[in-house]
Amino acid sequence: MLAGVNFFPTVSPAEKSAVQFFDEALELSILADRLGYSSVKIVEHYFYPYGGYSPDPVTFLAAVATRTERIRLITGANIPAFNHPIKLAGQLAMLDNLSHGRLDAGFARAFLPGEFEAFEVDMDTSRARHQEGIAAVLKLWTETDVVWNGTFHRFGPVSMLPLTYQRPHPPVFIAATSTPESFVWAGSQGFNLMFIPFTSTNEKVAGLLDLYRKARLDAGYPAGSERIQMGIHCFVDEDGDRARRNAAVHYADYVDKMASTWEDYMERSPSQYAGYADMITGMRRKTLAELEDKAQVYVGTPADVRQQVAATLEVFGDVEPSMQINFAATPLSDARRTLELFAAEVMPAFSEPDNGVAAEAAAATAVAAASVPAAASS
């Protein structure tokens, strides 16, 4: 079973220092590598206790790369709207080389109004900036003497150094939440996908995944060749009641911190984010029991979580759980317990063939290691 660890720092300095958060996250990453988890992922956010400890996922993942051997490193996700494509392409290429080809490059549109205001970026241009930025990064990774005349960036001719270790480029993931356009576009480009299940009903989310898979097929990509990462909160304990008590506190804190970033915008959602205010309101109304009943969180004993994993696979198809295990006040010992119990008592129950994804990733790394990458002509 492919399952990863997701670090999304819902924490303020009053709750936990940045030093402590990153020390613990690095320790958990080393443990995840040893236990056989497939990936470590971290977000790009700014300013707020909702993600703000991680303004640069590449820096954290570079630290993980030097301390681990096999686990893949996912930017979950970089934001093209806030980054120049030359800078972003260079940072990610360095990480891919430092890790000997373990990078999975994830990109997102961003959705926090305060971040857009601080970067002086119009939220109504976010989709266009997102798509143009990714296209520019891919061109820089695969061609020489690149000239770019886009709507938001103009540069060239330039040739990127270093090139990515994985050729022609690392796997690309797109974060999508609730808008059908995002799912369809990701599929039409042949990209992999990142989503979270608890933003809506299982039926709606499954429908969005169907749109994504159909768009990939319509664009000529083979069925089953996609990788879909599902971000999900996870609390595993031998004592199921204790797991639920802890999960209830941490989930409520997570949603409160997310909602606080939108407080001034609930009545005036930007046009490209229609429905986000309703989504956040709906998330605040959900109880942990409702989430558990729909397998939108993994919480309880290992036996409980095995049933929940089976339920999500039945509803959403072949997806890779990417589990958030450490929140603001989560003791390191609790997060370690979750990782250890999930690896020992949940993952073995789902150890059927994984559609070749792990072998494919290993093969891509082997090819890159065996050859000197040749730049494509412009």
Give the CATH number, domain containing residue 125: 3.20.20.30
At 354, is the pLDDT very low, low, confident or very high (cuts 50, 70, 90)? Answer: very low
Q: Is residue 176 part of a domain?
A: yes
Angle, CA 4 vertex, CA 58 and CA 95 arms, to 5°:
20
Rounded Cα distance, 110 and 80, in Å:
9
Which tokens sit at 222?
């083979």
Structural domain containing residue 338: 4-370
Backbone phi, psi, residue 124, to 5°: -70, -10
List the alpha helices (DSSP H) in the chain.
18-35, 57-67, 85-98, 113-118, 126-142, 180-188, 202-218, 240-260, 276-285, 288-293, 302-316, 332-345, 357-370
Q: What is the mean pLDDT of residues 116-121?
A: 91
At 330, is the pLDDT very low, low, confident or very high (cuts 50, 70, 90)? Answer: confident
SS3 of residue 151 by DSSP = coil
**The pLDDT value given to residue 298:** 95
Q: Is residue 61 part of a domain?
A: yes
Q: Is residue 376 part of a domain?
A: no
At 324, is the pLDDT very low, low, confident or very high (cuts 50, 70, 90)? Answer: very high
Q: Is residue 233 part of a domain?
A: yes
Q: Which of 126-130, 324-328, 338-342, 367-371 has the weakest average pLDDT?
A: 367-371
Is the pLDDT reported for residue 216 higher than 50? yes
**The pLDDT value given to residue 287:** 79
Q: Is residue 270 part of a domain?
A: yes
For residues 96 and 277, the model is more confident at 96
Q: Is residue 375 part of a domain?
A: no
Q: Is residue 377 part of a domain?
A: no
At 376, is the pLDDT very low, low, confident or very high (cuts 50, 70, 90)? Answer: very low
Q: Is residue 229 part of a domain?
A: yes
**The pLDDT value given to residue 189:** 96
At 282, is the pLDDT very low, low, confident or very high (cuts 50, 70, 90)? Answer: low
Number of structural domains in the chain: 1
The mean pLDDT value of the chain amounts to 87
Give the contacts of 284 (CB within 8 A, at least 6 positions apart). Answer: 255, 256, 259
Which tokens sit at 78?
């970089």
Q: What predicted TM-score, i.e. pTM, was given to this entire model?
A: 0.87
Q: Are residues 11 and 53 in contact, defined by beta-carbon separation less than 8 angstroms? A: yes
Q: What is the mean pLDDT of residues 348-365?
A: 56
Q: Which of 192-201, 256-265, 362-371 has the weakest average pLDDT?
A: 362-371
Chain mean position to CA 14: 26
Is the pLDDT reported for residue 357 higher than 80? no
Q: Are residues 78 and 107 in contact, defined by beta-carbon separation less than 8 angstroms? A: yes
Is the pLDDT reported for residue 309 higher than 50? yes
Which tokens sit at 307?
């049933």
Q: Which of 37-41, 217-221, 323-327 has the weakest average pLDDT?
A: 323-327
**The pLDDT value given to residue 375:** 32
Is the pLDDT reported for residue 366 higher than 90? no
